Chains A and B, each alone.
Chain A
Amino acid sequence: MPAVEPGHGSSGTAGPVPYAERPDSLSERELLIRVRDSKDQAAREELITRYLPLVKSLARRFASRGQPVEDLVQVGSIGLIKAIDRFDLERGVELSTYATPTIMGEIKRYFRDKGWAVKVPRALQDLNVRLNRVIEQLTVELHRSPTIAELAAATQVSEEEVVEAMESGRAYSSVSLFSGGNAEDDESLELLDVLGSEEEAYEVFEQRRMLAPAMSRLDSRERLILHLRFFEGMTQTQVAARIGISQMHVSRLIRKSIENLRQFMAEDEALVEAARGRGKV
């Protein structure tokens, strides 16, 4: 943060307002007025300095999600700046009240963008997120999985866009799959919370000869999804309702789990082949 001298740093359209005292001695309201009225950079920077601990605190809440906290602080700072610039003094709320969701939103958006394995147009990403919600809503209303036409009507886009957005959703990184029910959730989806009661079911799963060695290498979440879909015979919609996530999410999880199984099976096969090769020597 650059040092700010009194009288320097005002660059707003209303012209610089001379400082009678250092910005750090001004009240929050006085600083906000300067930002609003004269786009005062020094006042803005002072507010950023004061609220940086809030940004760091919020960033640390996402520390377990695989991104450096320093990066998250940077991203959160962008949210803070937006909050400062957009803050309405007449609303009668504290800046902290307004800034917190803005900072959180910026960090979550960062995770969402990071989660896309290939570049997908933002509009499609957004539609995909909307579809997640709408599918859940319509499934409850209709007591069945919705059709593409119904989704198109509900989201007011064409059926082609729905198909395209759903396909683009498959580009969503599997890394993010377990970090949230969908990208807009405020809190992590604690999928593990629902797993405890399913442990006994795995015994049945493990006893089946299908993929038994590789199955044991899946994590518990993946095994649960596969168990419900392929051994309990639940539809994707039923699995979604059971676990409390969207059908699209279940679809992705099934593919990810099956792909992991394939990899494990291929690795096991390679090990067997290597052992055979060594035996012949």
Chain B
Amino acid sequence: MVNETPDIIVLHIPRGARALPVMRVVMGGVASRHDVPLDTLDDLQLAIETLVIEEPTDGKELVLELSAGDDGLRVRLSGLLNQSVRTALVAVDPFQPCEGCLLDVRFLLDSLVDSLELEETGGDSYGVIMEKRAS
């Protein structure tokens, strides 16, 4: 009997950079199971790092959902609170400056991933869904 359960891994991670190594290792493990090239994996890791580092260190944990398939890797990072980043991600003009951000998050993410979608999750928090194709 074929297991049809999607290959999804969910991580609850504390805020701040200290969780990033664990997150990268898990992402590496998922990428390994799906033959994702290294540079593809690294771009997606860097995209996640970019978002996490912009986040305030106070607040509820972040949730990282990883899924992978033949077409590449997909991540959903939720629990995000940085409203400057949120504004930049939904801006019609992708070159609008990210006021209040440490870096130009929108510009970096657009370069790093193949698709980027902001997900409203209610209240002040939001999520970002990003995909990186394998080829």
Interface on A for B, CB 8 Å cutoff?
A: 135, 144-152, 159-160, 162-164, 166-167, 170, 209-211, 229-230, 233, 235-237, 247-248, 251, 254-255, 258, 261-262, 265-266
Q: How far is the CA of A183 from the CA of B111 in the complex (A)?
A: 30
Which B residues are in CB contact (< 8 Å) with A247? Answer: 38-39, 42
Which A residues are in CB contact (< 8 Å) with B97? Answer: 209
A-B contact count (CB 8 A): 83
Contact B95 A147 (CB under 8 A): no
Contact A167 B21 (CB under 8 A): yes
Q: How far is the CA of A247 from the CA of B97 in the complex (A)?
A: 30
Which A residues are in CB contact (< 8 Å) with B32? Answer: 147-149, 152, 159-160, 162-163
**B contact residues, total (Cβ < 8 Å):** 28
Contact B102 A266 (CB under 8 A): yes
Provided the pairs A144-B37, A145-B39, A209-B95 are in contact, do residues A265 and B111 lie with their beta carbons within 8 angstroms? no
Which A residues are in CB contact (< 8 Å) with B108? Answer: 230, 258
Contact B39 A149 (CB under 8 A): no
Q: How far is the CA of A17 from the CA of B36 in the complex (A)?
A: 65
Interface on B for A, CB 8 Å cutoff?
A: 21, 24-25, 28-29, 31-32, 35-43, 46, 49-50, 53, 95, 97, 102-104, 107-108, 111
Q: How far is the CB of A264 from chain B (nearest CB, A)?
A: 10
Q: Specify the chain B residue showing the minimal Cβ separation from A229.
A: B111
Which residue, B37, B50, B104, has most C-beta atoms of chain A within 10 A?
A: B37
Pull 22 A–B residue pairs with CB atoms less than 8 Å apart, ordered by A: A135-B38, A144-B37, A147-B37, A148-B41, A149-B32, A151-B38, A159-B29, A162-B28, A167-B25, A170-B21, A209-B97, A210-B104, A236-B43, A237-B39, A247-B39, A251-B39, A254-B46, A255-B46, A258-B50, A258-B103, A262-B103, A266-B102
Q: How far is the CB of A166 from chain B (nearest CB, A)?
A: 7
